[in-house]
Chains A and B, each alone.
Chain A
């Protein structure tokens, strides 16, 4: 069964420092991976996705993610954190069990990013 794991419940970083939010995956076949961000009392906002191609994916708001097949990881990164980046971040993988019939997403448990001024 497809799954993703976010090993850190919370990541703390000082404004201006680089940030990394970790995600590992378990899939059979080639993974379709996503990162979403959720601000308080809001829905999910799409940041970026990896389907194929370059291992470094660039997304919205200066975020990027590195796909590492050997380590089955898809960590989210940003070179310089902003206080406004403080939010809940979710990694997700597309479920392949139905042969793409519905492309449903399987989410991790989320990582709370706290950026201190």
Chain B
């Protein structure tokens, strides 16, 4: 039984570019949340997708957007990349919007140069 799968594992982008990160949730899960973990910090909530809609958003600008597909997989898009966007991006899947807890993926390490 596969857990949460994220791709790619590492990514290097230039300032101003756009990036798309992908997440496949654990089998049986219907909710995907995205977190940003900057170096030396705890993960910060970006947003959550349930039933293909954004349900809640953290304190992140509109440059961060997402999507959830009918098979529950999700994408995180970041436009106009800044150096400060360099971080580990974690996907967490859950059932029923996290009522029973979360399973995290291994993350995508994004470096903006």
Contacts and interface: CB of A to CB of B under 8 A. Distances in A.
B99 A100 contact: yes
B29 to A, nearest CB: 13
Contact of A90 (B42, B98, B101): B42
B48 A43 contact: no
Contact of A103 (B43, B98, B105, B109): B98
B72 interface: no
Interface stretch (A13-21, A62-70, A73-81, A104-112): A104-112
Contact of B104 (A44, A94, A95, A106): A44
B98 A102 contact: yes
A95 B90 CA distance: 18
B103 A46 contact: yes
Nearest to A49: B101
A41 B41 CA distance: 14
Contacts of A105: 35, 43, 45, 92, 98, 102
Given A43-B90, A45-B104, A102 B97 contact: yes
A109 B41 contact: yes
Interface residues of B, number: 29
B103 A110 contact: no
Contact of B56 (A45, A92, A102, A107): A102
Contacts of A108: 42
B55 interface: yes
B107 to A, nearest CB: 5
B104 A36 contact: yes
A98 interface: yes
Interface string B76-113: 00000000000000101010011101111111010000
Contacts of A103: 94, 97-99
A84 to B, nearest CB: 18
